[in-house]
Amino acid sequence: MLLYSLRRILIMIPIMVMISIVVFALALAMPGDALSGQIDPANSSPEYVEEMRERLGLNDPVHVQYARWAGNILQWDFGRSYNHRMPVTEVIGQRLPNTILLSVLSLIITYILAFFMGRYAGRNPYTIGDYGIQGLNYLMLAIPSFVAAIFAIFLFSFQLGWFPATGSISSGVEPGTMEYYLSKLKHAALPALVLGGLTTASYTQFLRNDIIESAQKDYVRTARAKGTPESRIYNKHILRNSVIPIVTLFGFDIASIIGGAVIIETVFSYPGIGQLLISSIDNRDSSVVLAITLMLSIATLIGNLIADLVYGVVDPRIRVE
C-alpha cells in the first residue's frame, strides 16, 4: 500500500506539470495581461508602457515567463494581486476558510440525505415513497444550480427569514466570539444546503439502484434461505456493500464541491474562492486566476488519489500490493 501510494504521488508530478502549462496558456489567452493592473492610468505614454512591460518581463519569450512563474510557485510565491494590491496567497487565505466551511457543510448534507433517502428507496422500491424520492432526484438533477440558489434565497431568506441572503458574517460581530462563529455557520447554511442538495440527487439514485441490484444476488438469497432477518440482510450484507462506492466518491467530491461552489458563492455573494475567481476574471487579475485554477486542478488530482486509497481501505476485496 505504501509503495502504491508513493507510485501514485510520483505519477502526479508530470501531470501537475502538464496542468500548469495548460493553465498558464489559458491565462495568456485571457484579454489583457499583468500590465493592465500595474501601470499608472494617468501615464499612457508609449515609452512608459514599454518600460513597464520590460520591467515585468512581459516581453520575454513565453517559455521564459512560464519558467519564472513555475519557479516562483515552487517557492510558494504566486505573485501579487493587481486588484487587491497584496500577495495572492494572502488574498486566497482570506477567502479559503469560507469555502472550506461551505464545502464541509455541503458534504455532510449530501451524505446524510443520500444515505437515508437511498436506503429507504432501495428497501422499498416501486412504492409511493420511492417514486416521490425519484421525482425529487430528477427535479434536483434538472434544475440549474443558480436557479435553485435564487429560489432558496427567495423562499428561506425573503419569505421565511430563516437565513441571511448574502455575505459570510453579520455586521458588528466581534471576531473570536461564539456569536461570530454562529453567524458564520448561519450564513454558510443556506448555500451549503443548495450545493449539498443538488449533489445529493445523483448519490441517492446510485445508492437506491445498487441496493435493488444487490438484493437479487446469490449471497442475499442464501441469507434469506437460512432465515436471516430481513433487516439484518439489508443493514449488514446489502447496505455495507452498496455504501462502499459512495464512500470512494468522497475523494472526487473534494474537487467537484469546490468547483460547484463557484456559481453558488457568486449568487449568494458569499466571499469564498469561487466568488474570488469570478471577480478576478472580470478584473483581469491574472495572477489570482492562475493560482485558483491551479489549486482546483491539484485538488482534483489529490481527490482522485484519496478515492483510490480509500477504496483499497474500505473494500476488503481490494488489496493493493
Supply the DSSP string of 136-158, one letter for each residue. HHHHHHHS-HHHHHHHHIIIIII
3-state DSSP call for residue 33?
coil
Separation between Cα atoms, residue 318 and residue 302, nearest integer Å: 20
H helices of the chain, in order, are 2-29, 46-56, 62-74, 88-123, 128-142, 145-152, 178-214, 218-225, 230-232, 239-248, 250-268, 273-282, 286-314
User: Is the domain of 160 the same as that of 243?
Assistant: yes
Q: In order along the chain (321 residues), what is the average pLDDT of each group of 10 residues?
A: 75 84 80 62 71 76 85 84 83 87 87 87 87 88 86 89 84 81 88 86 84 81 80 76 70 68 84 85 82 83 76 62 50
In a domain, residue 320? The reply is: no
| Of the residues 62, 88, 114, the one at which a domain ends | 88
236, 218: one domain: yes
Amino acid at 194: V
Kindly compute the dihedral angle of the four CA atoms of residues 162, 168, 169, 171, in this order, to the nearest 10 degrees: -100
CATH number of domain containing 165: 1.10.3720.10
Q: Establish if 321 belongs to a structural domain.
A: no
117 and 34 both lie in a single domain: no
Whether residue 12 is found in the same domain as residue 134 = no
- Do 242 and 156 lie in one domain? The reply is yes
- 82 domain residue, yes or no: yes
Domain boundary among 58, 88, 118: 88
What pLDDT score does 222 carry? Answer: 83
The pLDDT of residue 31: 66
Residues 73 and 94 in one domain: no
Q: Does 247 share its domain with 135?
A: yes
Domain end marker among 88, 104, 134: 88
> Is residue 138 domain-shared with residue 24, that is, in the same domain?
no
* Residue 294 resides in a domain: yes
pTM, whole model, 2 decimals?
A: 0.79
Kindly state the DSSP code that residue 34 receives in the 8-state scheme.
G
Answer yes or no: do 166 and 302 share one domain.
yes
Q: Which residues, in sequence order, are CB contacts of 233 under 8 Å at separation 6+?
A: 220, 223, 224
**Residues 69 and 105 reside in one and the same domain:** no
Could you tell me how far CA 40 lies from the centroid of its own chain?
A: 37
Query: Residue 40: helix, strand or coil by DSSP?
Result: coil
Rounded Cα gap, residues 87 and 28, in angstroms: 20
Q: Kindly state whether residue 319 falls inside one of the protein's structural domains.
A: no
Angle 29-33-39 (CA atoms, 0-180°, nearest 5)?
A: 170
List the grid coordinates of 280.
478576478
Tally of structural domains, the chain: 2
Q: CA-to-CA distance for 140 and 143, rounded, in angstroms?
A: 5
Joined together, the cell numbers standing for residue 152 give: 432558496
Dihedral Cα 10, 13, 14, 16, nearest 10 deg = 150
* Same-domain status, 183 and 309: yes
Residue 190 lies in a domain: yes
Nearest-angstrom CA–CA distance, 239 and 235: 5
pLDDT of residue 312: 67
pLDDT for residue 45: 74
Q: Which domain holds residue 51?
A: 1-88
